[in-house]
Structure formats: structure tokens, C-alpha cells
Amino acid sequence: MSQEAVPPSQPKGLLQQMEELMAALNADLSELDADLQQSAPRPDASPTDGSEPA
């Protein structure tokens, strides 16, 4: 994760903190989604309206 050149004595702005948190959350969710897509069972070609195949 890259950080802006902010001196340690100067606190980050709230907007910058929120942007960094959202970027980290988005990365975590993308990784979780990829993991779930790999482990999810593949649906077959059966009808999705609940009726039995003829």
C-alpha cells in the first residue's frame, strides 16, 4: 500500500483516512469474492423456475 509523503507530526485528513480504508476494504472484498467464485458449485442447465424437467 502506497502512502503519501505526510510528516509523522501532521495527522492525516479524515477524507484521506476514509479513502485508504475503502481501498483496503475493496481489496479484501475482491479477494473474498475471487475465493468464493472458485469454491462455488457450478449450476447445471436445469430450469430455475422450480419446475421439474420434462
* Per-residue pLDDT at 3: 59
Whose cell is 510528516? That residue is 7
| Structure confidence at residue 40 (pLDDT) | 80
Q: What is the pLDDT along the chain (54 residues), one digit of tens a residue?
A: 555 665 566 778 999 999 999 999 999 999 999 999 999 887 776 666 666 665
| Sole residue written with cell 467464485 | 37
What's the pLDDT at 35?
93
The pLDDT value given to residue 44: 72
Please state, as a whole number, how many other Cβ atoms lie within 10 Å of the Cβ of residue 41: 5
